[in-house]
Amino acid sequence: MKIEIAHLPHDIIEIIYPSEVTPKDVTEYVEQLKKDITARGGTEWSALVDQSRLRVMPASVVGEMARLNAYAQQRGMKRSARVVSDPGSGLQAWRMTKNAGLTIPAKTFETRSEALSWLEAPDAD
């Protein structure tokens, strides 16, 4: 299984998690996303993270994801929207955001369309 990365209009990078992730998946994903972020040259962008199929992120991965979020914020990420399947997933996403020390607007949503609408709104907070 691989974590999918797509580039959408409005300077949005979309990440789609499978139902399970392995340490190898995460290593490959982090490497690819860092290349994508660097290629943007510091221009602002937003993240749409769909983890609705991934009910709980393995504890061994949470720290790496928090570090990646901090890295992304330092390199142009201006907003982060996560699609989660249940309140437990939302709580885990909130904790990861807090542990990353993010100061940008970050929200969780139940659907991709809600998350995308929020990211595309010119004055979303």
Instruction: Show Cβ contacts of residue 122 under 8 Å, excluding neighbours closer than 6 positions.
Output: none
CA 112 to chain centre: 12
State which fold the 4-120 domain adopts: Transcription Regulator spoIIAA (3.30.750)
What is the per-residue pLDDT for 85?
86
Angle between helices 59-74 and 23-39 (to 10 degrees): 0
> pLDDT of 2-53, one tens digit each?
677 878 777 999 999 898 888 888 889 999 999 999 998 889 999 999 999 9
pTM of the model: 0.86
More confident residue, 44 or 101: 44
* Model confidence at 63: pLDDT above 60: yes
> What is the chain's mean pLDDT, rounded?
86
**By percentage, how much of the chain surpasses pLDDT 90?**
42
- pLDDT for 125 equals 59
